[in-house]
Structure 1
Amino acid sequence: MSYDYGEKYGPHTWVLRFPNAGGTKQSPINLNTMTMRMDDSLSPINIDLTGLQKQILHVKDHNFSVEVKGNAVLSGGPLTSEYKLAQFHLHWGSGNNWGSEHMINGVSCPSELHCVFINTKYGTMETAVTYSDGLSVVGIFFQLGKSSNNALKRLCAQLKSTKKGESKEIQPMLDLATLFPNDLSRYYTYSGSLTTPPCNECVTWIVLDEPVVMSVDQLETLREMHANCVSCGNTDNFRPICPVGSRSVRCSFRV
């Protein structure tokens, strides 16, 4: 079943076709530092990218993803298992003051990167999304600055030369380390869902506090993906904030 971010098939309609979207543990959320709990037991996360073997760009109507082959492993932090990187993608907005899916105290960033990791004890994405601990997604905020992000620079060049519906291998591979901030010890974590249909509640979210810088030109390249997508609506491809409800949101540092 199709979905997008426009009027006809946008987020307000998802629950009609994807019942999970009406659950009580949906994402994204507003990360309210006044109500969350600092947890001293939360160690820094560890991301080992040395096992990467291949990256494949898939361009869709309203977004893109980069499928990852090999063993790039996430561990530590709130996780009790190892998780393997499956893909990453970005969300963005039509204005410079919104576009990220998560907010911190009601404030958005222009873009948010999601790195999707599969719990190694489940093996496949299809199996993992049926378990509450099946996935972990690392969310990284992007802020606008004068400098370009090295990995995004090459990714944007690939996007410009790839048509919607096409896939291509990225060679040489992107240096994913430049997509992550230096500080992996400061983050927010909670139990949530995929932010796109089918919106399964299978995600341990780890949203990093330190943002990464992207240039205005790089953000404009992302926005241009919508130029021929009539139904997408502006260039916004983020889901609105969902209720936190009774969930516990923890942070690894004193706010």
Structure 2
Amino acid sequence: MDFDYGDCNGPHTWALRFPAAAGKRQSPINLNTKSMVFDRTLKPLIVNFDAVVKETAEVKAHNFHVKVEGKGVLRGGPLETDYHLAQFHFHWGSGNTWGSEHHVNGVSSPSELHMVFANSKYGPNDVLTERPDGLSVLGIFLQLGNQTNPALEHLCNTLVGLKKGDQKVLEPRLSLHDLVPKDTSKYYTYSGSLTTPPCSECVTWIVLDEPIIITQNQLDTFRGLHSNCQLCSSTDNFRPICPLGDRKVRTTVCT
């Protein structure tokens, strides 16, 4: 798709070519803890990657994603059915104080991981982006620290030297559980959209309160993909905050 994050085809122009981007259920949003609804009926999250069989990293125009084969399962929380992991990717910024797509009380993180899960109740002929519950995205903030996350380290080692369009199977596979915080009991959830074109409003968002740690070297590896691909001078690949409108954000976090 013809879009980017710069002046010519950046987020302020997306709605001209992708009408959904002007919708009322767009993402990302600022997660304002003072205006959320604490919901005791929200269930615990269950995340299981034991049945994942293959992971393939591919460098895209503005970031990279890892396609997942097998059944990585997300259930519980606000979800009524099981969702299966299709791919995951990251967003980041050129500085250490911005880069995440969601904010919490106006504060951003250096990076944000999106694990994209497909609703298992739909078949292969269903277009999930046309279903309001077609996808669920698990959003995980990354904070800078000195502790080396082994999954991120393995991923960064795989990415070194790759250019736009390159693909590489991760061998051995990542331990995907290392990309998920130990505490998944605290989260925010709302109805939203894909944060990249076509910006379809088909996503049940679940954003975890607890972050994982990324080192400076790992974050710099992400940023280095842009210079490898000679894409643009900026490494900012996040969409600005969208209006919440009349939507409600529910949470398991006591505020």
Compute the TM-score of the two structures, normalised by the length of structure 2: 0.97
**Other-structure match for 1:174:** 174
Q: Unpaired runs of 5+ in structure 2?
A: none
Q: Which residue of 1 aligns with 2:146?
A: 146
Matches within 5 A, 1:118-197: 118-124=118-124, 127-197=127-197
Question: What amino acid sits opposite 1:25 in the alignment?
Answer: R
Q: Residues 6 and 230 of structure 1: is their aligned pair in 2 closer, same or farther, counting only changes over 3 Å? A: farther
C-alpha distance in 2 between matches for 1:112 and 1:254: 23
Say which is worse superposed, 62-71 or 117-126, in terms of deviation: 117-126
2:97 aligns with 97
Contact kept, 8 Å, 1:49 with 1:71, in 2: the verdict is yes
Q: Percent identity?
A: 58
Quick one: distance in 2 between partners of 1:77 and 1:57? 28
- Give 2:222's aligned residue: 222
SS in 2 for 1:16: helix
**Secondary structure of 1:220's match?**
helix
Show CA shifts across 1:43-64 (max 9, x none). Answer: 2110111110100111112100
- 1:232 deviates by 3.6
Matched to 1:73, the amino acid is V
Q: Is the 8 A contact 2:161 2:228 kept in 1?
A: no
Deviates more, 1:154-163 or 1:206-215: 154-163
| Aligned equivalents of 2:8, 2:125: Cα separation in 1 | 28
Q: Distance in 2 between matches of 1:217 and 1:126?
A: 41
Higher mean C-alpha deviation, range 172-181 or range 226-235: 226-235
Cα 1:166–1:52 shift into 2, 3 Å: same
TM-superposed CA distance for 1:123, in Å, is: 3.4
Match of 2:246 in 1: 246
- Contact 2:39/2:252 (8 A) holds in 1: yes
Q: Report the AA paired with residue 89 of structure 2.
A: H
Q: Over residues 1-29 of structure 1, what are the superposed CA-to-partner deviations in whole Å (9 max), with x where a residue is unaligned?
A: 31111111111111111111000000000
Report the Cα offset of residue 95 of structure 1: 0.5
User: Quick check: 1:57–1:169 contact (8 Å CA) kept in 2?
Assistant: yes
CA contact (8 A) 1:5 1:233 kept: no
Structure 2 distance, partners of 1:160, 1:174, is 16
Does structure 1 conserve the Cα–Cα contact (< 8 Å) formed by 2:99 and 2:236?
A: yes
Report runs of 4+ in structure 1 exceeding 6 Å deviation: none
Whole-Å Cα distance in 2 between the matches of residues 179 and 211 of structure 1? 9
Corresponding position of 2:82: 82
Contact 1:139 1:208 in 2 (8 A): yes
Alignment pair present for 1:68 and 2:68 = yes
Distance 1:228 1:10, change over 3 A: farther
Post-superposition offset of 1:253: 2.3
Matched pairs, number? 255
SS of 2:174's equivalent in the other structure is coil
CA-based RMSD of the aligned residues comes to: 1.3
Q: TM-score, normalised by structure 1?
A: 0.97
Mapped pair 1:19 → 2:15:
no
> How far is 1:229 from its partner?
5.1
SS in 2 for 1:108: coil
SS in 2 for 1:84: strand
SS in structure 2 at match of 1:129: helix
Please tell me whether the aligned partners of residues 61 and 231 of structure 2 are also in contact (alpha carbons under 8 angstroms).
Answer: no
